[in-house]
A and B are shown apart, each in its own frame.
Chain A
Amino acid sequence: MCANTIDKTRFLRDVFHGYYRTQLKKLSFPTRITERELAFFPFEGNFVKRHIGFSDHQQLLLYLRRYPPRHAYFSAAYFDKPDGERMDEKGWRGADLIFDIDADHFETQCRIEHDRWSCNKCGTKGKGVPPKKCPRCGAPNSQIKTYAWLCENCLSEAKNETIKLVEEYLETDLGIAKKDMIIVFSGHRGYHVHVHNRAFEPLGSAARREIIDYVTGNGIKVESFGLDEITGRHKVTVGPAVTAWGWRGRLARGIIGFLRTTDANHLSSIEGLRRRAKFIMQNRDKIIQGIQDVPPRYAIKGLKIDHLKKIAEEGAKWIGSKIDVTVTGDVHRLIRLPGSLHGKTGFRVVSLSFSELERFDPFRDVLAFRGTVRVHVKNPPPFRIGDHNYVGLKDEIIDLPTNAAVFLLAKGIADFQGVAS
């Protein structure tokens, strides 16, 4: 490790330590801490220290002060013996229902501007969503290193997606009360929804997968929601109205949304629609108008029911919630500890009620530090910290407010030069 890296790590550790020592009011730890496993990723080394249990919040706080971690996690699961080293020793009692919405799961336009990738093999660099194979040397995706940035647009999409998940799926369809939910800003590129309700704690992985598939639309059989061809004397194509409740209306709206945002190239890449892509694009408005009519008209001359079902399946994917499916399905999941700091940004992991989410600013309401720091900035994409926009920083030594400096240092695009006088 070079001297610069040591200085940077030591500095980050020190400011994190300062936060855990002084910012007591900003810490909001989870409930039932005695039943949860805690895990920490220290500044020194590249490993996670797991299987730690605490008898109360005070013990946890003392630990954070003594060993300020780069990342801190807690289990969504409740255990008889949280510090047991093996799962069968821990005694699983149940787990909160959790959802993770991360900007990595959206293909936003801004990612083309701020995300970067490079090939470990040949050194080729590029912008935007990383390719599946290196376009120059053909190295597989495993050889491609990605640098994900976070911007206003990404986090605003993530917030909207969280609101959609909570209001449309969890509350309206599944009847889960907002008061039973805690929304957590991860401190980086997304939000977590924690459902605290004993009725859902015993659900196993298979049951949780049913919830995942419900909110994402995975495995949908569109016939179940009335999209089909009825054969009698005449063939009649029928389908749901946009105003219908649950997945019926959602399917109709999904078809419309998908058709509005797709293009001929994408349609041609879908098995079963390859030959009809041009026709669909030419008749797009007509199809959309038909679905919006009262009663809806799904029959389009030249489009078979199988094509329509294929479009509807794409529509379900388009409108389904963009959650990280591995998180919800894992009944032993470790998730970021509210109140802790995120090691990739220095932002606070903030716990919110649903009513607070709308007004929450993930670039202002997360700041943890005071003071000014001198850093050597490399070449960051534009970013905002608090009310200040940083645009056009390029290979320069500059004094920055600690929040902005920590952000760049933690993101790996600045070197530590010293605390500014």
Chain B
Amino acid sequence: MYDVTLLEKYAKYPWSHSANNYIKSQHIPSLTSPEYQSLVSRGFTRVLEAIDNVEERISPISNIYEECMSYPIARMFIAAVNDDALHHRFAIRESKRALYFLMHEDQGVVLELVRSTFGWAVKTDRLVINNRVFDMSIAFQDYIQVAPFFQDPTWKMINRDVKSGWVYLDVRQFKRLIAEAVKRHVLRKPKVEARILRNLENMFREQLETIRRRWQTVRSRWGGGEITGEVWVEGFPPCIRELLAFTREGQNISHLGRFTLATFLLHVGLSVDGIVDLFRKAPDFQQDLARYQVRHISGEIGSGTKYTPPSCATLQTHHLCRAGDDKICHWVKHPLSYYRKKIRFRSSMKKERSKNAQGVSPKGSSKSEKTIEQRRALN
């Protein structure tokens, strides 16, 4: 026997601390046994929902036990497939699902959830400023661990009312913050031993194959944004273009500026030697040192980590961001995403052009032209 109210809560919020404890207490000996087939099946569909319908409405829960227990099974499938983009998509879906239930949730339950799961310090004192009501406040050190993940600058702490260490939010904003925290929570990789992963592969070969196939189909629809060996300077974001120009002129740029440029160029396909050559005009240029440093950040030597360029947020803080009115800059969080987007636009424009050249129907071509125009406007 179990408490239905509690189990319903676990079903809605299976990522929560208390749900996790409950799931652990269930001691399922073998997932392959027929009595657990429905759990595995729901875990499987949970992943497929993330792949096929990430933006679609959340459907009501039909079986609370299945809904709760299928969550770790879905995570297990995600771990076995081992694809970061899929993991991200699954986290988005789970976060949307959490937000759907949170919107109608009792405040006491919400507070208990965030305190026990994320360790947040939250208060419910009301603050009214210019007719706007803020019913919730959260300790700033908890807020800033989630806020950087929002694209909209109004989420930055500088654009919030902050008093004595508390960041004030209205109830809706507070729940969106929780949903983002859920996404981060789901994105944490479960620690699964290689041996167990191999077993999973054998036990659920069919399901994993289906997941991989479906995911490939969805990904192939995106296509065209991959960075190839060819370096396309026109596709660089404004910040990188400026750093490149300064370097070519021999101007002194900050350490972070050099790091940003070098890591960006490495990622878009320039060789270590090519980058070292570029920095030749720097006043303090020392070939051996520069080569050592570039090789280090490329992962050739040292820890073996290939460093990625800093995010747009870091560049903004260090006054290296040159977004201005560039429209793509307002959509992306990272200089490499900018470059990928530009490449995607370019390849789709090429496709459109070649279609037009081959003579497609007048209706289709006018649509294509419009699309090209719209895309040009973005550049």
Taking Cβ atoms with an 8 Å cutoff, the residues of A that contact B are 86-88, 120, 140-143, 172-176, 199-200, 203-207, 209-214, 217-221, 224-226, 245-248, 325-326, 329
Measured between C-beta atoms, what is the minimum distance from A346 to chain B in Å? Answer: 27
Chain B residues with CB under 8 Å of A87's CB are: 303
Pick from A142, A174, A176, A207: contact of B252, CB below 8 A. A142
Pick from B141, B252, B313: contact of A206, CB below 8 A. B313
Stretch of B44-52, B65-73, B155-163 with 4 or more beta carbons under 8 angstroms from chain A? B155-163
Taking a contact as CB atoms under 8 Å apart, the answer to whether A224 and B160 are in contact is: yes
Interface centre among A172, A213, A329 (most CB of B within 10 A): A213
Of all A-B residue pairs in the complex, the 9 with the closest CB atoms, nearest first, are A175-B165, A142-B252, A142-B283, A210-B144, A224-B159, A206-B148, A175-B164, A207-B144, A140-B251
CB pairs A–B below 8 angstroms (13 shown): A87-B303, A142-B282, A143-B283, A173-B162, A175-B163, A175-B166, A200-B141, A210-B144, A211-B144, A213-B317, A226-B129, A248-B129, A325-B318
Taking a contact as CB atoms under 8 Å apart, the answer to whether B144 and A221 are in contact is: no
Taking a contact as CB atoms under 8 Å apart, the answer to whether A210 and B302 are in contact is: no
Interface residues on B, range: 35 or more
Chain A residues with CB under 8 Å of B141's CB are: 199-200, 203, 207
Pick from A205, A210, A325: contact of B147, CB below 8 A. A210
Could you tell me the distance between the alpha carbons of A205 and B314 in the complex, rounded to whole angstroms? 9
Chain B residues with CB under 8 Å of A86's CB are: 302-303
Taking a contact as CB atoms under 8 Å apart, the answer to whether A174 and B303 are in contact is: no
Q: Name the CB-closest residue of A to B321.
A: A219
Is B26 located at the chain interface by the 8 A CB criterion?
A: no
Could you tell me the distance between the alpha carbons of A175 and B163 in the complex, rounded to whole angstroms? 7
Interface centre among B139, B145, B249, B319 (most CB of A within 10 A): B145
Contact with A along B131-142 (1 / 0, CB 8 A): 000000001110
Is B130 located at the chain interface by the 8 A CB criterion?
A: yes
Is B238 located at the chain interface by the 8 A CB criterion?
A: no
Taking a contact as CB atoms under 8 Å apart, the answer to whether B163 and A209 are in contact is: no
Contact with A along B226-263 (1 / 0, CB 8 A): 00000000000000000000000111100110000000
Q: Is the interface of B mostly helix, strand, loop or mixed?
A: mixed
Taking a contact as CB atoms under 8 Å apart, the answer to whether A326 and B256 are in contact is: yes
Q: Is the interface of A mostly helix, strand, loop or mixed?
A: helix
111-146 of chain B: CB within 8 A of chain A? 129-130, 139-141, 143-145
Measured between C-beta atoms, what is the minimum distance from B100 to chain A in Å? Answer: 27
Chain A residues with CB under 8 Å of B255's CB are: 326
Measured between C-beta atoms, what is the minimum distance from B333 to chain A in Å? Answer: 11
Could you tell me the distance between the alpha carbons of A224 and B157 in the complex, rounded to whole angstroms? 11
Taking a contact as CB atoms under 8 Å apart, the answer to whether B158 and A220 are in contact is: yes
With contacts A203-B144, A325-B318, A329-B314 taken as known, whether A210 is within 8 angstroms of B162 at the C-beta atoms is: no
Measured between C-beta atoms, what is the minimum distance from B39 to chain A in Å? Answer: 35
282-329 of chain B: CB within 8 A of chain A? 282-284, 302-303, 305, 311, 313-314, 316-319
With contacts A207-B148, A210-B144 taken as known, whether A173 is within 8 angstroms of B250 at the C-beta atoms is: no
Measured between C-beta atoms, what is the minimum distance from B2 to chain A in Å? Answer: 35
Interface centre among A210, A217, A218 (most CB of B within 10 A): A210
Is B32 located at the chain interface by the 8 A CB criterion?
A: no
Could you tell me the distance between the alpha carbons of A258 and B29 in the complex, rounded to whole angstroms? 69
Taking a contact as CB atoms under 8 Å apart, the answer to whether B163 and A210 are in contact is: no
Taking a contact as CB atoms under 8 Å apart, the answer to whether A142 and B314 are in contact is: no
Measured between C-beta atoms, what is the minimum distance from A296 to chain B in Å? Answer: 12
Could you tell me the distance between the alpha carbons of A418 and B289 in the complex, rounded to whole angstroms? 39
Taking a contact as CB atoms under 8 Å apart, the answer to whether B162 and A219 are in contact is: no
Pick from B144, B161, B314, B316: contact of A246, CB below 8 A. B161
Taking a contact as CB atoms under 8 Å apart, the answer to whether B148 and A212 are in contact is: no
Could you tell me the distance between the alpha carbons of A226 and B132 in the complex, rounded to whole angstroms? 11
Taking a contact as CB atoms under 8 Å apart, the answer to whether A140 and B164 are in contact is: no
Q: Name the CB-closest residue of B to A144.
A: B252
Q: A200-B141, A206-B144 are in contact. List 9 more A-B contacts (CB 8 A).
A: A140-B251, A140-B283, A173-B162, A207-B145, A209-B148, A218-B316, A221-B159, A246-B163, A247-B158
Taking a contact as CB atoms under 8 Å apart, the answer to whether A141 and B252 are in contact is: yes
Pick from B145, B158, B166, B318: contact of A326, CB below 8 A. B318
Taking a contact as CB atoms under 8 Å apart, the answer to whether B252 and A221 are in contact is: no
Is B153 located at the chain interface by the 8 A CB criterion?
A: yes
Pick from A140, A141, A174: contact of B162, CB below 8 A. A174
Chain A residues with CB under 8 Å of B163's CB are: 172-173, 175, 245-246
Chain B residues with CB under 8 Å of A225's CB are: 159
Is B154 located at the chain interface by the 8 A CB criterion?
A: yes
Could you tell me the distance between the alpha carbons of A121 and B153 in the complex, rounded to whole angstroms? 44
Interface centre among B140, B316, B317 (most CB of A within 10 A): B317
Taking a contact as CB atoms under 8 Å apart, the answer to whether A210 and B148 are in contact is: yes
Taking a contact as CB atoms under 8 Å apart, the answer to whether B252 and A214 are in contact is: no
Taking a contact as CB atoms under 8 Å apart, the answer to whether B158 and A214 are in contact is: yes
Taking a contact as CB atoms under 8 Å apart, the answer to whether B162 and A211 are in contact is: no
Chain B residues with CB under 8 Å of A173's CB are: 162-165
Interface centre among B147, B156, B157, B316 (most CB of A within 10 A): B157
Measured between C-beta atoms, what is the minimum distance from A252 to chain B in Å? Answer: 14
Taking a contact as CB atoms under 8 Å apart, the answer to whether A209 and B302 are in contact is: no
Measured between C-beta atoms, what is the minimum distance from B260 to chain A in Å? Answer: 13
Measured between C-beta atoms, what is the minimum distance from B62 to chain A in Å? Answer: 39
Q: Name the CB-closest residue of B to A143.
A: B283
Taking a contact as CB atoms under 8 Å apart, the answer to whether A142 and B313 are in contact is: no
Could you tell me the distance between the alpha carbons of A97 and B336 in the complex, rounded to whole angstroms? 30
With contacts A246-B162, A326-B256 taken as known, whether A203 is within 8 angstroms of B145 at the C-beta atoms is: yes
Could you tell me the distance between the alpha carbons of A221 and B139 in the complex, rounded to whole angstroms? 22
Taking a contact as CB atoms under 8 Å apart, the answer to whether A142 and B251 are in contact is: yes
Could you tell me the distance between the alpha carbons of A173 and B303 in the complex, rounded to whole angstroms? 40
With contacts A86-B302, A88-B303 taken as known, whether A211 is within 8 angstroms of B157 at the C-beta atoms is: yes
